Amino acid sequence: MRSKQDLAQRGQVLLLLVVALSLLAACQGQPFRVTREPVTIRLVAADSCGAAAQAIADAYRQEHPWVTVEVTVFNSAIAERMLRAGETDLAILSVVQHVAGEEPLWTLPITHDGVAVIVHPTSPVDDGNVAYLQEIFRGRIQEWEGVVLAVVSREEGSSTRAWFEQMVMGHHRVTHNAIVMPSGADVVEYVSRTPGAIGYVSTFQVGAAATAGKVRLLPVEGVLPTPRTIYDGSYPLTRPIYLATRREPDGEERTLSQWLLGPKAQSIFQEYANFDLAAHSTTDNSN
């Protein structure tokens, strides 16, 4: 016959076994969570893409809470210099320079935007023919139907200026009498309050002002810069937007670069390029 001490010991072992099995069952019912190490990615964006880049950084943080994307905004030339100097991890650029003696940057086209030509809502200018635009921005046409024109341009180093000069001005320079602005937002603001003003700006920066009727967009060669005409290339002043790094990204930077091609990021880009066409010229041959 077993002693009372043996029975007590066996009872304690059995009790411990039951408790252990209960804890194991409870643990199996709980999801296994991994705590990720926080990561910071430095991203510099060209002025034309600044607001969209910040919106993308915020949206990415919601889906990847361990990743902080720090966004700074400069004109494209400064942004590219920062990237080449190692002062940032990634850059969103609308122009990528080929620098002699330096390794080419790794680039990935992530979206497109357009360079929109804008005027004050009361402006009599309604013809966005490239030949007329060139004459206006050269200063050779200074008046339109009795209204004195004020040419508004961007500063040196702006990729929007570089693209406009390449596509519209050719080998000619914008008039030295042009009012030079340090950002696209400043161009929009000046044109919105100056009846004779005509300028150019990224479609990423003009949506709210265009929808509110503060500025009017001119069709270029009969086509307005809508998401559709920019996507299919029928708008003449369409350009690609690139993600750039010094080398092919890996780790979290690679994950972010792939995410930029996905539906969430693309919807943000389209949101910033969108506007209500009701306030604009109906001379649009894109339909």
Q: Total domain count for the chain?
A: 2
Residues 192 and 97 both lie in one domain: no
The CATH number that applies at residue 84 is 3.40.190.10
One domain, residues 211 and 225: yes
> Does residue 209 sit in the same domain as residue 71?
no
Q: In terms of residue numbers, what domain contains 140?
A: 113-237
What confidence score (pLDDT) does residue 95 get? 85
Q: What is the DSSP string of 120-161?
A: -TT-----B-HHHHHHHHHTS--EETTEEPEEEEEPTT-HHH
Shared-domain flag, residues 130 and 228: yes
pTM exceeding 0.75: yes
Rg for the chain, CA atoms, rounded:
28
Residue 117 CB partners (closer than 8 Å, separation 6+): 128, 133, 198, 199, 200, 217, 218, 220, 237
Are 257 and 64 in contact, with CB atoms under 8 Å apart? no
Kindly state whether residue 8 falls inside one of the protein's structural domains: no
**pLDDT at residue number 102:** 83
**Are 258 and 221 contained in the same domain?**
no
User: Do the domain assignments include residue 157?
Assistant: yes
* 92 lies in the same domain as 125: no
Same domain for 125 and 233: yes
Q: What is the pLDDT of residues 186-207, one digit of tens each?
A: 999 999 999 999 999 999 998 7
> Looking at the structure, do residues 85 and 149 belong to the same domain, yes or no?
no
For the ranges 8-12, 18-22, 133-137, 282-286, the lowest mean pLDDT is seen at 282-286
pLDDT confidence of 287, banded at 50, 70, 90?
very low
172 in a structural domain:
yes
- Say if residue 176 is in the same domain as residue 201: yes
In tens, the pLDDT along 83-110 reads 999 999 999 998 888 777 788 999 999 9
Quote the pLDDT of residue 209.
Answer: 80
Span 157-181, pLDDT tens digits: 898 999 999 999 999 999 999 999 9
The answer to whether residue 12 sits within a structural domain is no
* Mean pLDDT of all residues in 62-75: 96
Domain-embedded: residue 284:
no
Mean pLDDT (the chain, rounded): 86
The predicted-structure confidence for 10-44, as pLDDT tens digits, reads as follows 556 555 555 555 655 555 555 555 567 999 999 99
Cβ(107)–Cβ(248) below 8 Å = no
Residues 123 and 221 in one domain: yes
Evaluate if residue 280 carries a pLDDT over 80.
no
Residues 162 and 177 in one domain: yes
Within a domain: 253:
yes
Shared domain for 127 and 43, answered yes or no, is no
In a domain, 43, yes or no: yes
